[in-house]
């Protein structure tokens, strides 16, 4: 599937699984899915663009899976929107209880985000060098996994959000 704009018209849609799709960008029409509770973008290796404010518009979202995609790398190269600003949109997702993602650049980590305390299930890899393996791939399975490779940014361990995630992991 290349053109999924029609999906934006299905306003009652609860679950959108785009896992392993070859989309190049997430269309703004998806922002109109006001009932969307689950969005899976795992293994979307060609996905490079998530429009600004799209994630934050999905206010009913409970589960967000973004493991093993190249969005962060492509966002950094394009300079159009920083991954940090994309992650900051998580602040608007008050229903979010499940999050799977990899954050290679520790400066992009959403610091002091109190929503980490609401997460019941997460697989979050922070820092470079991590590969999304079989352990991380099992979406829809309750678990709490936090992998840290902080390099020179050891101060992130003192972050309140990290402390909450580590306490639950």
Which domains can be identified in the chain, with CATH numbers? Answer: 5-168 (3.80.10)
At 56 the pLDDT is: 93
The encoded tokens of residue 70 equal 């190249």
DSSP codes, 97-132:
-EEEEEE-SGGGS-TT-GGGGG-SEEEEEESTT---
Tell me the pLDDT tens digit for each residue of 47-103.
Answer: 877 888 999 999 999 999 988 776 654 444 444 454 556 778 888 999 999 999 888
At 77 the pLDDT is: 45
Tell me the pLDDT tens digit for each residue of 102-139.
Answer: 887 777 777 767 788 889 999 888 877 777 665 555 66
Q: What gap in Å lies between CA 166 and CA 169, rounded to an integer? A: 5
């Amino acid at each position: 599937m290349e053109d999924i704009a029609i999906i934006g018209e299905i306003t009652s849609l609860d679950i959108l699984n785009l896992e392993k799709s070859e989309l190049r960008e997430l269309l703004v029409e998806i922002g109109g899915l006001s009932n969307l509770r689950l969005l899976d973008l795992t293994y979307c290796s060609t996905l490079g663009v998530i429009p600004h404010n799209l994630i934050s518009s999905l206010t009913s979202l409970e589960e967000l899976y973004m493991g093993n995609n190249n969005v962060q790398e492509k966002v950094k190269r394009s300079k159009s929107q920083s991954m940090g600003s994309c992650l900051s949109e998580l602040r608007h997702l008050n229903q979010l209880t499940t999050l799977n993602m990899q954050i290679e650049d520790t400066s992009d980590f959403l610091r002091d985000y109190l929503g980490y305390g609401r997460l019941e299930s997460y697989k979050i890899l922070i820092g470079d060098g991590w590969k999304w393996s079989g352990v991380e791939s099992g979406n829809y399975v309750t678990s709490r996994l936090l992998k840290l490779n902080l390099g020179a940014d050891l101060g992130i361990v003192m972050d309140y959000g990290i402390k909450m995630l580590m306490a639950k992991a």
